[in-house]
Structure 1
């Protein structure tokens, strides 16, 4: 493998047949193993740190990170969800939402089409894990391997949130950069990794970058609607024969570790990597652990060819 690695691409826009414009960026050699990174609720692609993306590229991947619809520089979608609809969904009652988890998975496939990639290794965090699971179920031949991180199956009896988070998630959205940064700092202090805490400065810098990139309160609500109305994939996941890795922190307050355990139990032959002291984030100290695990899982796909 060459020691000279291509610089990250400039951010680019892809106009997708789904009617959504998706902003994306690539790292590494286009001849490498294609790896699609899918972020979680309200998170722009920059939450996949450039350092982590570069480490993955250095390990033979052609890395693609992107802003989901309603996030960052990608399209905002029409339709509104109010608090009543969210609370109704939390209660398990039927609620209509502007789009579904399948729609977000279709965005990901359309982005691969734009890049002229027949298939890719896929890695998703939190809501992104739900998206990549949906991708694997809907078009398994296009998913070379799957890594689901701090996510769950859609079954309501696993992967629950700490009830203390609900007021923060339903709180009136920030109207200013300063308020958003302060609110984010409070949230990440609760859901971050107790054994690998971020500095307050790092959390505030990430929040400020997120605000500057573009924060949409209605967009976050629409994504939350897709999460709350997703189907229970537990039974369907049993049909997967794709090399699968499930990573979860034992101290995750946003998605309880039971979600990760249930995901791994549902997928035949999957690897479950539980990390003590990790919460609902990707600490720098664990980057190498993540890279090694993702590479190992991708190599399982190669051995099956």
Structure 2
């Protein structure tokens, strides 16, 4: 029975990842061992569950029927096992979190470090990206995003103070190219762009002053998809950056970066931990939510 259950777990992983490589990494087994497991399962059932090509793996009609039946039941078993942790002296289990990069570095990580020290039996898996991840479909316990990006059917808990953006560059850059006096002046400057994975678009720089909103699409030599590189490029004089205030505060205080358009950068709601509205939550997850909301 244990072998058959492991076969079903392997099958569900391949079905969800649509890749033997990703499913093997998820299960911490070799790709060849996983392929052998699925092949043996198909042979015992006398059914073809997956269609394999050199580039992809997809479910057959029978495979999809099996997945639809089995996947919720495996999740129920996992939930039941997690609920048994409540009977232990020390809470345990695994919490999977999806977060944007800045929130992960500046808000989540300091709290997670303290949380893991306090609860050594609780495992944390954190996935960092800029895309608007479907935490239910991708089987995350919770996600972290700005308040404006939250789905309305989720429970949302504030985990950070309000945020503020900064427009910065090196003093040498401003000495050479001049200082912009208004957001529209940025069109004449070399700016460092952030490429967002959602729809592949560039981040629009948003400004507000005395109720007047201005949205600017900037151009420059460099476009990246991680804010770490934007800060580094600004420090090296490659252009103007648009970054969260707390990310560059020390650089500004040290004189490595100079801030401009300060009166155009207004506060906006900070980060929220969001998760599905379920009837019950594991003790480990409840402790995690409590720890994250403290700031």
> TM-score, normalising length from structure 2?
0.30
- Considering fraction of residues, name the structure with more strand: 2
> TM-score, normalising length from structure 1?
0.29
